[in-house]
Amino acid sequence: MMSRSKLWAGLMVLFTAGVLTGIVGTLLYVDSERIHRGAHGPAAQHERIMKRLTRELSLTAKQQSEIEPIVTRAHVAILELRFSHQAEIAQILEKGMAQLKEKLSAAQQPELDRMYQGLQQRWQASRDYLEAKKKE
């Protein structure tokens, strides 16, 4: 009887260890993906698009060189469209931020400000990228 309970206890420990390992691994992966994507901005997004097209369509080197300018033009056009509405988006976000702050504690508000500042920095990186591409 004692050996059966030890077996069940061992199985429970093994199962729990597996679940915890899965949770920790998933959290680490999600966090690294978030950091990786946000850190490189629109230039990296363009690169990821080209890599994915190349991989999934098995593009030749010649096709890649022909397609890259098309991807660049489309990417720039999307950014231009997005920034043509930026003033409207900023007004909506500022109103939303003010409403959010009313619902947050004084301790939570600086974190919201930090998050919003990060968004503004990503927008600036996109604007800088767009200006650089227009000059090419």
pLDDT tens digits for 99-135?
A: 999 998 999 999 989 999 988 888 888 888 888 888 8
Rounded-to-10 torsion of CA 75, 135, 87, 101: 80
| Contact between residue 129 and residue 75 where contact means Cβ atoms under 8 Å apart | no
Residue 99: its pLDDT value, please? 92
One pLDDT digit (tens) per residue for the chain, 136 residues: 568 888 888 888 888 888 888 888 888 877 766 655 545 678 788 888 899 999 999 999 999 999 999 998 998 898 888 889 988 988 998 999 999 999 989 999 999 899 999 888 888 888 888 888 888 7
Q: How many domains does the chain have?
A: 1
The phi, psi pair for 92, rounded to 5°, reads -60, -45
Q: CA 23, CA 125: separation in Å to the nearest integer?
A: 33
- Type of residue found at 50: M
What is the residue range of 124's domain?
A: 2-135
